[in-house]
Amino acid sequence: MPRQTIRRAIGALAPLALTLVPTATLLAQSAPPLTPAGKPVPETAPDGRHYLSQPLTTQIYTADPSAHVFAGKIYVYPSHDVPTDIPDDDLGNEYAMHDYRVLGMDRIGGPVTVGPVALDVKDVPWASKQMWAPDAAYRNGTYYLYFPARDRVLDKNGLGTFRIGVATARNPMGPFKAEAAPIPGSFSMDPAVFTDADGRTFMYFGGIWGGQLQRWASGRFDRNGSDTDLHRDDQPALSGKVVRMNPDMKTFAEKPRDAVILDPATGKPVLGGAHDKRFFEASWVFRRNGLYYYTYSTGDTHFLNYATGSNPYGPFTYRGHILKPVQGWTTHHSIIEWNGKWWLFYADTQMSNRNHLRNVKVTELHFDPDGTIPAIDPLVN
């Protein structure tokens, strides 16, 4: 065949090739990702609204994301949700998580690596079940994983008492080796660790209802106490706890204190009946422009809130909502600064629409010039 004829034939085919390749690419891109159950990830919420952001990973179910920047890379330490037929209850029995897997990414919006099992409850000598929301820290070449789990001393419901444990590793993704016993003096759940500019490290922790904080109101654990709260709506609400850590990062340097939240209208502690303001669980603290932001979940009213103070111990004055209710019952978060911006990590139930099978997400957090935070709606029209 003459060269001119070959060139004409190729020229005639070229537009067809250019048309076919993008079409195939678009078809591949339009195929929705699959959930761990093998079903397409829903594009819209049951009420028809759209999700503000998408799951960081669809490989496993994850919740309670504690994000950190270690050596310029972002690591997220979430709960690892698992399927179960246990019905929802006030004790949180349906949250039957038993191990942790760490998520890693080089940048926000980039590929996410799901690490292998970082720690399993069967490898924690003192724990019986339910490894809930963890956090992590780094000091002097060692990574510390802090986690709540039930011990083996049973209460009136046949459930162990929540304690906070610590495990260590040389790699931020683990595997972590747990200490033989929980942190002395620790109790309840949701540890969050904050290191201040002066090098002091603080742990914030606690949660009512399934987190059992209400059973420690007297200073000792009441195995027959309330399963929810103290039912004292006209009294100061139960506070989350704050405690300074020893340099070993494995023990408390003092007795835990109340992280008190004040009502700006009265200057007095928020009352137990103010369910849209009072502390429920999920403490997280960061510092910005010299101000300490104490953030937390309101639980049964499903908000993420923030309060501010001039001291890492508090008191903190209530300021408002950070995140409006997500799809699903629980809301638990973390906030980091990365690449000159602030980011909110949270979770909802987009992949499953079941309270105990969640997926972590991230969205940018904005600040007004006076330091206040506009509330984010996780669902948009």
Q: What is the identity of the amino acid at 127?
A: A
Q: Give 254's DSSP letter.
A: S
> Residue 4 belongs to what H/E stretch?
helix 3-30
Is 254 one of the annotated active-site residues of the chain?
no
Q: CA separation (Å) from 313 to 28, 202, 255, 293?
A: 52, 9, 12, 11
Distance between CA 104 and CA 120 in Å, rounded? 19
Write out the two tokens for 58. 């669809």
Is 337 one of the annotated active-site residues of the chain?
no
Q: What is the identity of the amino acid at 74?
A: I
Query: Could you tell me where the beta strands, DSSP code E, fall in 266-327?
Result: 281-288, 291-297, 304-309, 316-323
Q: Give 26's DSSP letter.
A: H
Question: Given 94, 263, 281, 348, which residue is catalytic?
Answer: 281
| Burial bucket for residue 70 (CB in 10 Å: 0-12, 13-18, 19+) | middle
Write out the two tokens for 213. 């904080």
Those residues with Cβ within 8 angstroms of residue 188's Cβ, 6 or more apart along the chain or in another chain: 148, 162, 164, 205, 206, 207, 211, 212, 213, 216, 241
Question: Given 64, 135, 151, 263, which residue is catalytic?
Answer: 64
The closest alpha carbon to 182, from 247, 117, 125, belongs to: 125
Distance between CA 185 and CA 179 in Å, rounded? 15
For the annotated catalytic residues, the residue numbers are 64, 281
